[in-house]
Amino acid sequence: MSSPVWHPFTQHAVQPDAIEIARGDGAWLETRDGARLLDLISSWWVVTHGHRHPRIVQAIKDQADQLDQVIFAGFTHRPAEELATRLLARVGGDLAHVFYSDSGSTAVEVALKMALGFWRNKAERRTRIVALEHAYHGDTIGTMSAGARGVFNAAYEPLLFDVVRLPFPHAGREDVTLDALRDACRGGDVAALIVEPLLLGAGGMLTYRAQTLRDMQAICRESGALFIADEVMTGFGRTGSFTACEQAGVTPDIMCLAKGITGGSMPLAVTLSSKAIFDAHYSTDRSKTFFHSSSYTANPIACAAAVANLDVWDEEPVRQRIATLCQWQADFVAAFAQDARFANARTCGTIAAIDLVVADQGYLASIGPKLYDFFLSRGLLLRPLGNTIYLMPPYCITRDELALAYAAIADAADMIGAR
């Protein structure tokens, strides 16, 4: 190994050297030696309209010429102000304030800290966090605490805080989840419930009903617990609507957005909060301040990219593109529903997933890397979660490009079966 770079979620002892990408264009990546790869996972779920959308690229260039970075405590700038106003106008509900950070994990950390700060400033002893089984909320200590436990965080377990874990709301067994939430809330010490609305991403692309999301929120409302929607992955159209909460008719107290916020061009995240949560921190008593920041909070270039992303949403037929992609995904996946080599063919908006039927399951199962290599050999960037193959393409993908992926998935089953 010649490179000093330590890559994320990479076991360097068994994985080949990283592939150098020199260029991105729409749904495609191009390697240094000119090979093309179809980016079916939107470069880890961030690229929404395709790589290098001209409008977003231009906004980045223009902003870089004006103001690159400025401290965000005591100072502000046009892109941050405009983005905050326009995001709130889009998301609506009870959300009234925008707190900036720079990744999904930090957006969730901020959400958890806001929830705890809210109760402390109101002098109520509520400190427990409730989360779903199989949840993923990030890789920092706080967000790992809220997420599912397993091989990913075993080493850090001694530092993780305890949360109340609700069983995943499998179809037909939603009452088990709701009863567990009611039980947890009965103690009166629940600060907040945090959920990925409608779709648990890293936990295996697990879907659940919108009604269950509404029911969970209603239970929180009754008991006074805050409701946090982690829309880091589901936001910006992935589930078919702008946010997953929008299609479920749910209005959270706190919402985290990150991955698609700049169209996938720059790192940026926001935590949106209700007026009540902001107001609980609003005081002449400085000890009630919301104590959080990161150096690059609301970086102007990233904010300008996010504003340009909203322009794309406003001025291009993005919703139409998404609706079409949702239909294609549903059509392609339907063909796998009767195929005994696959199980749980499912879609949630623009995202499709199917499980390859194999004995050896789970994230560390040897099947994952085999599939990954097979797809790469076909010029396709797909990164299965264990035996779960999913497609989360940018919205600019064409039907023919998607067809390449589904053909390879069908062949993958034969390839695996032959071993």
Ligand X SMILES: *Cc1c(COP(=O)(O)O)cnc(C)c1O
Site of interaction with ligand X (CB under 6 A): 103-105, 108, 136-138, 196, 201-202, 230, 232-233, 258
Give the residue with the Cβ less far from ligand X, 168 or 332.
168
Q: Per-residue DSSP letters for 351-384?
A: EEEEEE--SS-STTSTHHHHHHHHHHHTTEE---
CB of 347 to ligand X, least distance (A): 17
Give the residue with the Cβ less far from ligand X, 389 or 412.
389
Give the residue with the Cβ less far from ligand X, 121 or 239.
239
Cβ neighbours for 122, distance < 8 A, ≥ 6 positions apart: 280
Give the residue with the Cβ less far from ligand X, 141 or 410.
141
CB of 256 to ligand X, least distance (A): 7
Give the residue with the Cβ less far from ligand X, 130 or 413.
130
CB of 21 to ligand X, least distance (A): 19
CA 122 – CA 119 distance, rounded (Å): 5
Give the residue with the Cβ less far from ligand X, 231 or 355.
231
CB of 143 to ligand X, least distance (A): 6
Cβ neighbours for 228, distance < 8 A, ≥ 6 positions apart: 111, 112, 115, 192, 193, 194, 195, 252, 253, 254, 255, 256
Burial label for 52, CB within 10 Å (0-12, 13-18, 19+), is: middle
Cβ neighbours for 255, distance < 8 A, ≥ 6 positions apart: 91, 95, 228, 229, 231, 243, 245, 271, 272
Nearest to 102 by CA among 276, 267, 314, 337: 267
Q: Minimal CB distance to ligand X: which residue?
A: 104
CB of 111 to ligand X, least distance (A): 10
Burial label for 100, CB within 10 Å (0-12, 13-18, 19+), is: buried
CB of 414 to ligand X, least distance (A): 31
